[in-house]
Structure 1
Amino acid sequence: MNKIYFLLVFLITQPLFAQSYKKSEPFTHTYSIVARDSVTGEMGVAVQSHWFSVGSVVAYGQAGVGVVATQSLVNPSYGPKGLVLLNQGLTPQQALDVLTENDKGEMYRQVAILNANGDVATHTGSLCIDEAGHKQGRNFSVQANMMLNNTVWDAMAFAFENTKGTLSERILATLKAAENEKGDIRGKQSASILIVNGIATGNSWEDTIMDLRVEDHENPIQELERLVKIHNAYDFMNKGDLAMEEGNSKKAEDLYLNAQNLFPENLEMQYWYAINLLNNKEFDKATPILKAIFVQDKNWQILTSRLVKSKLLTISTSELEKIMKL
């Protein structure tokens, strides 16, 4: 018996994969994208809808396996089950066929699946509320339903294909393009973005690159973009912390400065940049920054003396005394 055929028969007959339409399933009429960065191999799924916490029911991903967006009268089980099928070696189209052929409510579903090779499969059920449709391209699929206009998915595809930058930047541009076409006929409420590694490291804390949600907001795409920027700033902070731990204060200084440039109003990013200036004996640059921070919040001054004990600040006793008098 053909191996794939046997696998399909096995999966279909398991209770885990029994599916049926339920009136209680959320009405997450929405627009979304599944996409892969051909350079880094990263895979992402993002979504926006006039529905509370849309990311919690629509977006699924697993490093080294793929990403899934399941929406319209959403069957949330499509997410985890789709990833299981991909992990078993099925193509996105084969996985999608298994899911829809055993779902009595498939005509209400809209689903997109992308694997680590960038292969995609998309289903827009015949009873999805107009305007509904999808468009596939190399390494991506965009899909939407209950839109005000039928131009949404074409605009999304154009934006993704013609935007330069990181995967998150291209995905955000895609969501903005949908909103520029008036998006969901009901308006807007929540959004999310999930990005995972193209190759699994085996460490779950490293495999998810970005996982951000805007649960309820008057302008969720704008808020999501703000969170992505802050996320990138803290990514530099995390790398700066690691450099400090390794004793490479010059590298840490550069990383903290990158973080500060992305999020200049954040006191903590200013603070750690200044601390590493002290470690690099650049006192003239560090002291005015620290003085401004201490004026706003004295607790940072208290923390400074504690860093010496933890060997994260390597200055003399006399130098520390000067800092504590700022």
Structure 2
Amino acid sequence: MTFSIVGRCAETGQLGVAISSSSIAVGARCPWLRAGVGAVATQNVTLPALGPQILDHLEAGLAPRVALDRALTSNGYSEYRQVTVIDQHGQVALFSGSEALGVHHALAGENCVAAGNLLSSPAVIEAMTAAFASAPGCLAERLLAAMQAAMAAGGEAGPVHSAALRVVGDLVWPIVDLRVDWAEEDPIGALETLWVAYKPQMQDYITRALDPTKAPSYGVPGDE
């Protein structure tokens, strides 16, 4: 029903998550990030609370494996969960419960972890980590390349309808937070289109937030 990748850029320290699902609005429930701390994807039968709890544990100094185990144990029903974690240092943890849906797989790569359930085959996840490792560009583009590789390798057993991309850097808010909550077809393609539109404006939104006197003019009514 869902496949995702959490990743880290070794050069910038950025952390990110890209995810797609057959369910509506996957970006509202599954990707969780905290600047300078880590990134988490919680999926399968999703418990959104796992994301913030794991990030709290990471921020308190726990290793990803310990943080993941502690959150799963405290909430119960771990057999229904599929969770991946990466911290600010690139350390990872992954878990797929015994009740994970259909064909499922999770795999750690260099500075990334990919996972999915109800997949067409385990090769989908292997394609994701390979694409992340070889793709050029910034973290957001490498995450999107991994998602496109997943689809090329067969994707889910059925159609996907939503997708999300989220990246944090040095700031307390996400510098990228893009979502396609429902598309009849190709939500990952629609997400990539959003990224292409957003990328040239991303730094402008950061600049205007930090120093409104340097905000660029966009030529909209009232903008002088």
The answer, yes or no, to whether TM exceeds 0.5 is yes
Out of 157, 174, 179, the residue aligned to residue 213 of structure 1 is 179
Return 5+ residue gaps in structure 1 as ranges: 1-28, 257-267, 273-299, 313-326
In structure 1, the residue matched to 2:25 is 53
Matched, 1:108 2:108: no
The alignment's C-alpha RMSD in Å is 2.3
TM-score normalised by structure 1 residue count: 0.63
The answer to whether the 8 A contact 2:168-2:176 is kept is yes
In structure 1, the residue matched to 2:52 is 80
Shift of 1:105: 1.5
CA distance in 2, matches of 1:231, 1:31: 23
CA distance in 2, matches of 1:92, 1:219: 33
Letter in 2 for 1:168: A
Out of 129, 154, 161, the residue aligned to residue 126 of structure 2 is 154
Matched residues, number: 222
The change in CA–CA distance for 1:246 and 1:211 in structure 2 (over 3 A counts) is closer
User: Relative contact order, CA 8 A, sep 6+: which one is greater?
Assistant: 2
Query: Aligned ranges for residues 83-94 of structure 1 at < 5 Å?
Result: 83-94=55-66
In structure 2, the residue matched to 1:230 is 197
Structure number with higher strand proportion: 2
CA distance in 2, matches of 1:77, 1:98: 13
Letter in 2 for 1:222: G
TM-score normalised by structure 2 residue count: 0.90
CA distance in 1, matches of 2:81, 2:107: 16
In structure 2, the residue matched to 1:128 is 100
Shift of 1:77: 1.1
Shift of 1:100: 2.4
Out of 164, 167, 180, the residue aligned to residue 192 of structure 1 is 164
Q: Can you list the C-alpha shifts for 1:40-85, whole angstroms capped at 9, x where unaligned?
A: 0000011000000001110111111111100011111111111111
Out of 152, 157, 162, the residue aligned to residue 180 of structure 1 is 152
Out of 141, 146, 156, the residue aligned to residue 113 of structure 2 is 141
CA distance in 1, matches of 2:81, 2:30: 11
In structure 1, the residue matched to 2:34 is 62
Structure number with higher helix proportion: 1
In structure 2, the residue matched to 1:291 is none
The change in CA–CA distance for 1:195 and 1:239 in structure 2 (over 3 A counts) is closer
1:39 counterpart SS class: coil
The answer to whether the 8 A contact 2:175-2:202 is kept is no
The answer to whether the 8 A contact 2:207-2:214 is kept is no
1:121 counterpart SS class: strand
